[in-house]
Amino acid sequence: MILTLTPNPCVDKTVWIERLEPGRPVRGERCDCVAGGKGCNVSKAVRQLGGATMCALVVGGHTGRYVAELLEERHKVSVAPLWVEASTRTITTVLECEKHRQTAIFEPGSAVTDEEAECIHDQFLGILDALRENEPHAPLTVTLNGTVPDAKLRNLYARLIPELKRRKVFVLLDSHGPEFAEGLKAAPDAIKPNRQEVEELLGMPLDSEETLKNALTQLHEMGVELAVITDGVNGAAVSRREGGRFQQLRAIPPQVEEINSIGSGDCFVGGLVHALQIGQSLEDAVRLASACGASNASHWDIGALNREEILRLVPQIRIEPL
């Protein structure tokens, strides 16, 4: 079972238009809404790969109910809602057909009260404990995904990680900014930031093999056992420490026509944790993860992966020593 947590989901709305002219009304040709949020994408990917997953979401209002409904009905993903008073945000992307240009408008994340922040923490652990109780011997992985909607939740990951580790749950953190830095202090088992996120975290450019290896070493020193740094079309650098030994590799994806690479990191995470949970080797897990990322990049819809396409891409991933 892979339980994902998305503290800051959204209704992800796309409006297709001919051309954007600021200050003028524009008529849309087509409009579509999907459930947005990083953990949602991880769960969608795991589901497509045939794994069991549950998606815990901080949601509120009718937009919150809509996100949950979209996930359950379109993607057949089980949802565990963590209700708050404020409505879940909508992100509207305007897609100009002529120029193939996209402009996204982000509403602010929902504010939470102190009491709600406490409830989110406790309820999430309650969901986890119920899953454990149902299937005491099944392996359990938790992924903590993305940003938090309110500064009151800034230490959510940092508080959850020790609880998860105490329960012997494998935990992967994929976030950025203060909540990522805070969460890292609690030493999650695994992390999957992208290159830019690590550059911000460590305050240094990753522009050579040497700086990349140095960054991976620093991440291990923070207590992380499996560190993955992805870099879009350039692939991923992976480093696992087991006891005192290191396994390091680089995965290079095949060329695909990139349509929309947003969410490729999340699909990578979905592929990675699914493969590791079913006992695949690190190398095979990274192959599957990279194929999921590449497949996502070659479609407009985020996280709507196709299993056959992924299986076709897997043998095309090149693995090299780092």
Ligand X SMILES: Nc1ncnc2c1ncn2[C@@H]1O[C@H](COP(=O)(O)OP(=O)(O)OP(=O)(O)O)[C@@H](O)[C@H]1O
303 binds Mg ion (CB under 5 A): no
Whole-angstrom CA distances from 247 to 62, 64, 111, 216, 252 are 47, 42, 42, 12, 17
Q: Which of Mg ion, ligand X, none interacts with 6 (beta carbon under 5 to 8 A by kind)?
A: none
Q: Which residue lies nearer to Mg ion by CB, 75 or 192?
A: 192
- CA 250 to CA 252: how far, in whole Å? 7
- CB neighbours of residue 181 within 10 Å: 16
Are the C-beta atoms of 42 and 8 separated by less than 8 Å?
no
Smallest gap from residue 167 Cβ to ligand X (A): 27
Exactly one of 163, 222, 232, 278 binds ligand X (CB under 6 A); which one?
Answer: 232
Least separation in angstroms between CB 31 and Mg ion = 26
Supply the minimum distance, in Å, between the C-beta of residue 292 and ligand X: 7
Give yes or no for a contact between 284 and 247, defined as CB atoms under 8 angstroms apart.
Answer: no
- Does residue 233 bind ligand X (CB under 6 A)? yes
Q: Is 45 in the site for ligand X (CB under 6 A)?
A: no
Contact flag: residue 265 with Mg ion (CB under 5 A): yes
Q: Name the residue with tokens 């006992």.
A: 279
Assess 147 for contact with ligand X (CB under 6 A).
no
Counts of helices then strands in the chain (DSSP H, E): 10, 14
Query: Which residues make Cβ contacts (< 8 Å) with residue 184, sequence separation at least 6?
Result: 173, 191, 201, 219, 222, 224
**Distance separating alpha carbons of residues 186 and 142, to the nearest angstrom:** 15
Q: Does 43 bind ligand X (CB under 6 A)?
A: no
Binds 256: which of Mg ion, ligand X, none (CB < 5-8 Å by kind): ligand X
293 binds ligand X (CB under 6 A): yes
The site for Mg ion (CB under 5 A) is made up of 194, 265
The site for ligand X (CB under 6 A) is made up of 194, 230-233, 235-236, 253, 256, 258, 261-266, 268, 290, 293-294, 297
